């Protein structure tokens, strides 16, 4: 966390189940959060970016059993894969929480106690359907029957009949308060399609929620009744509070960062975050997060990604093949954030070679090489700016505001589109101004043109840092900008003529397909 003057910004990813190794979907959600966290830091916010692993519950217990390993050892191992992913993908998370940590057990048991003391938890017994894969309860009406006669949840998960003593949370008491919340804070859920879905789910009626299990052991025990393990979703959601210091509501991190600004999730778990979670918090009299945004689902070459189809996409293999920043850019540019998207090698290559190698890569390489060769390796002096110069500079100068607006709505693709519009204008400007001709006919004008272009490249590189940190570091390094000259507050401070630049080297190589 770094000092700032714009206030705090707390952003979270879902905590991932440790039943399997990370795949592209996990990498995607965390990437989106990383980009926003980096953007906010550069924009002067004090950011707390949290990710981690969800390690309790029947599903994880079963995976450990299948692997023939003690669940703690199993979760240690698999959780490490997710931690490794954060390093490999260059995520800038400030914390990595594991639900098997002591700090989390304390937070969960305290929250439970508060809910119980306030009269929102009661003991009863549950008889109904449960899907271990989703760790979710379903009503009979939600189910369909498979060809083999098995009952299937709307998510495709198999359900099993569960009958056991259980504590319940009085979710039914929150129908009206939740609908009021969605109405009074229309930004609470994004995008709109998900908001509508949640509203109609709640309008359909809420039943009290079973929040404890007795038929397995891998979880946090209910305070005062060891026979019961807390429902894994109550346990998991609480991680967002644990990480900022709950139950100590006086600790600096809690005061500064709670309530969270944004819980980023996939569309599969919006109900848990936009219905159950605010209900738990309202019941406990705790402030509610400001926003839950649910992004869409990735498919692979048009097919649903699933282990049984053997078509899961390993983010590490993609990074190996195309490069880290290339993959980061692709994921956020290719698909409108919030919509489902399809991964295809063709689309990836087109982004890598088109947007990156040709558009921005060539622009920077052409311009900075000309500066290096023809201007004595220094940012040139400039004369009065022509209308074309001013137009291009103004276009680049308007990007921050546009990106702020788009990124605040999680419209990452839109923000990137605006940057690429400027890149394409700049490429046209190079061709039209033809500085290579001006070198002979009008060297001072060549200087002005190359100055304008270098300045535009600086702005673009500063703004693209959140998406492609390593590549932009190289580009800004070539312009000899130090670390304190890379924040968004420096965007209005133009390049200083006479500054020596480093020998430019290509930042975005073309991807050449193997024969
Ligand atoms: O649900 N496309 O964990 P999980 C896009 N532990 N995103 C995908 C995806 C795909 N094909 N597949 C997975 C859990 N995701 C709970 C969360 S939070 C308190 C507890 C991403 O390991 C997406 O963000 O099943 C989805 O919501 C998340 O992984 C589910 O991860």
Query: Which H or E run includes 209?
Result: strand 209-210
- At residue 89, the 3 state secondary structure works out as coil
Task: Say how many Å lie between the CA of residue 304 and the centre of ligand 1.
Answer: 14
Ligand 1 proximity of 29 Cβ (cutoff 6 Å)? yes
Task: Say how many Å lie between the CA of residue 24 and the centre of ligand 1.
Answer: 10
Ligand 1 proximity of 71 Cβ (cutoff 6 Å)? no
Residue 470, C-beta contacts closer than 8 angstroms, at least 6 positions apart: 90, 324, 325
Question: What is the length of the chain?
Answer: 515
Q: Which CATH class is domain 345-490?
A: mainly alpha
Q: Whose CA is nearest to atom 24 of ligand 1?
A: 266
Ligand 1 proximity of 447 Cβ (cutoff 6 Å)? no
Q: Whose CA is nearest to atom 13 of ligand 1?
A: 25
Ligand 1 proximity of 311 Cβ (cutoff 6 Å)? no
Strand 151-152 vs strand 212-213: parallel, antiparallel, or unpaired? unpaired
Ligand 1 proximity of 54 Cβ (cutoff 6 Å)? yes
Task: Say how many Å lie between the CA of residue 23 and the centre of ligand 1.
Answer: 10
Ligand 1 proximity of 265 Cβ (cutoff 6 Å)? yes
Ligand 1 proximity of 457 Cβ (cutoff 6 Å)? no
Task: Say how many Å lie between the CA of residue 269 and the centre of ligand 1.
Answer: 7
Q: Whose CA is nearest to atom 15 of ligand 1?
A: 25
Alpha carbons 101 and 82: distance in angstroms, whole number? 16
Q: 400 near 463, Cβ under 8 Å?
A: yes
Task: Say how many Å lie between the CA of residue 266 and the centre of ligand 1.
Answer: 6
Q: 262 near 289, Cβ under 8 Å?
A: yes
Q: 170 near 121, Cβ under 8 Å?
A: yes
User: Helix axis angle, 71-88 relative to 24-42, nearest 10°?
Assistant: 50
Alpha carbons 13 and 50: distance in angstroms, whole number? 6
Which atom of ligand 1 sits closest to the CA of residue 53? 6
Which atom of ligand 1 sits closest to the CA of residue 237? 19
Q: What is the pLDDT of residue 442?
A: 98
Nearest to 17 by CA among 50, 48, 63: 63
Which atom of ligand 1 sits closest to the CA of residue 266? 27
Strand partners, 362: none
pTM, whole model, 2 decimals? 0.96
Q: 266 near 295, Cβ under 8 Å?
A: yes
Q: What is the pLDDT along the chain (515 residues), one digit of tens a residue?
A: 344 689 999 999 999 999 888 999 999 999 999 999 999 999 999 999 999 999 999 999 999 999 999 999 999 999 999 999 999 999 999 999 999 999 999 999 999 999 999 999 999 999 999 999 999 999 999 999 998 899 999 988 999 999 999 999 999 999 999 999 999 999 999 999 999 999 999 999 999 999 999 998 999 999 999 999 999 999 999 999 999 999 999 999 999 999 999 999 999 999 999 999 999 999 999 999 999 999 999 998 888 887 767 788 999 999 999 999 999 999 999 999 999 999 999 999 999 999 999 999 999 999 999 999 999 999 999 999 999 999 999 999 999 999 999 999 999 999 999 999 999 999 999 999 999 999 999 999 999 999 999 999 999 999 999 999 999 999 999 999 999 999 999 999 999 999 999 999 999 999 998 77
Alpha carbons 26 and 31: distance in angstroms, whole number? 8
Query: Which H or E run includes 129?
Result: strand 121-131
* Alpha helix (H) residue ranges in 127-263: 175-184, 192-203, 232-237, 239-242, 252-257
The residue assigned the tokens 């702005």 is 459
Q: 390 near 368, Cβ under 8 Å?
A: no
Ligand 1 proximity of 15 Cβ (cutoff 6 Å)? yes
Task: Say how many Å lie between the CA of residue 27 and the centre of ligand 1.
Answer: 10
Query: Which H or E run includes 165?
Result: strand 160-169
- Cis (ω within 30 of 0) for the bond into 506? no
Ligand 1 proximity of 494 Cβ (cutoff 6 Å)? no
* Alpha helix (H) residue ranges in 249-342: 252-257, 270-271, 277-283, 315-322, 324-334
Residue 415, C-beta contacts closer than 8 angstroms, at least 6 positions apart: 402, 403, 406, 407
Alpha carbons 335 and 349: distance in angstroms, whole number? 15
What does the block give as tokens for 332? 């956020």
Q: Whose CA is nearest to atom 16 of ligand 1?
A: 16
Q: 190 near 236, Cβ under 8 Å?
A: no
Ligand 1 proximity of 322 Cβ (cutoff 6 Å)? no
Residue ranges per structural domain of the chain: 345-490
Number of H helices, E strands in the chain: 21, 18
User: Helix axis angle, 315-322 relative to 324-334, nearest 10°?
Assistant: 110
Instruction: Give me the sheet containing 221-222, strands edge to edge.
Output: 212-213, 225-230, 221-222
Which atom of ligand 1 sits closest to the CA of residue 269? 27
Q: What is the pLDDT of residue 2?
A: 44
Alpha carbons 448 and 446: distance in angstroms, whole number? 5
CA angle, residues 194, 86, 19, in degrees to nearest 5: 70
Nearest to 459 by CA among 417, 495, 483, 407: 495
Which atom of ligand 1 sits closest to the CA of residue 298? 2
Ligand 1 proximity of 268 Cβ (cutoff 6 Å)? yes
Alpha carbons 366 and 371: distance in angstroms, whole number? 9
Alpha carbons 16 and 33: distance in angstroms, whole number? 14
Alpha carbons 452 and 390: distance in angstroms, whole number? 9
Q: Whose CA is nearest to atom 7 of ligand 1?
A: 25
């Amino acid at each position: 966390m770094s000092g700032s003057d714009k206030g705090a910004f707390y952003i979270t990813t879902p905590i991932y189940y440790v039943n399997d190794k990370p795949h592209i979907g996990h990498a995607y959600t965390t990437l989106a959060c990383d980009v926003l966290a980096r953007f906010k830091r550069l924009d002067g916010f004090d950011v707390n970016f949290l990710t981690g692993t969800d390690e309790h519950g029947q599903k994880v217990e079963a995976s450990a059993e299948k692997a023939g390993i003690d669940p703690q050892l199993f979760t240690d191992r698999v959780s490490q894969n997710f931690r490794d992913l954060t390093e490999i993908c260059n995520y800038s998370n400030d914390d990595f929480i594991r639900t098997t940590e002591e700090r989390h057990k304390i937070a969960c048991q305290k929250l439970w106690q508060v809910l119980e003391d306030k009269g929102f938890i009661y003991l009863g017994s549950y008889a109904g359907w449960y899907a271990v894969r989703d760790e979710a309860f379903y009503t009979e009406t939600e189910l369909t029957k498979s060809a083999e006669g098995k009952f299937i949840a709307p998510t495709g998960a198999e359900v099993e009949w569960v009958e056991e003593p259980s504590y319940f949370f009085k979710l039914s008491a929150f129908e009206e308060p939740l609908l009021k919340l969605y109405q009074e804070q229309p930004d609470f859920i994004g995008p709109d399609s998900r908001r509508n879905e949640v509203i109609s789910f709640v309008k359909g009626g809420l039943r009290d929620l079973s929040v404890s299990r007795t038929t397995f052991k891998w979880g946090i025990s209910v305070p005062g009744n060891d026979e019961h393990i807390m429902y894994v979703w109550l346990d998991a959601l609480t991680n967002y509070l644990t990480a900022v210091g709950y139950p100590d509501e006086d600790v600096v991190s809690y005061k500064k960062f709670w309530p969270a600004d944004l819980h980023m999730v996939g569309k599969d778990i919006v109900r848990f975050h936009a219905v159950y979670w605010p209900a738990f918090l309202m019941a406990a009299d705790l402030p509610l997060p400001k926003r839950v945004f649910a992004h869409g689902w990735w498919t692979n070459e048009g097919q649903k990604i699933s282990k049984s189809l053997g078509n899961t996409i390993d983010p590490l293999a993609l990074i190996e093949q195309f490069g880290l920043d290339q993959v980061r850019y692709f994921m956020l540019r290719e698909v409108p954030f919030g919509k489902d998207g399809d991964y295809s090698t063709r689309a990836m290559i087109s982004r890598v070679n088109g947007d990156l190698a040709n558009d921005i890569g060539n622009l920077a390489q052409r311009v900075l090489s000309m500066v290096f060769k023809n201007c004595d390796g220094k940012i040139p002096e400039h004369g009065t700016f022509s209308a074309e110069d001013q137009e291009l500079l103004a276009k680049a100068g308007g990007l921050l505001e546009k990106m702020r607006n788009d990124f605040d709505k999680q419209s990452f693709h839109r923000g990137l589109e605006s940057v690429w519009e400027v890149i394409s204008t700049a490429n046209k400007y190079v061709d039209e101004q033809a500085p290579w001709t001006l070198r002979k006919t009008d060297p001072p004008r060549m200087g002005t043109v190359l100055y304008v272009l270098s300045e535009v490249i600086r702005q673009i590189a500063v703004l693209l840092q959140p998406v492609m940190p390593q590549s932009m570091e190289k580009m800004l390094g070539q312009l000899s900008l130090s670390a304190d000259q890379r924040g968004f507050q420096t965007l209005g401070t133009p390049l200083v003529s006479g500054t020596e630049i480093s020998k430019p080297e290509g930042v975005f190589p073309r991807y050449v397909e193997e024969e």
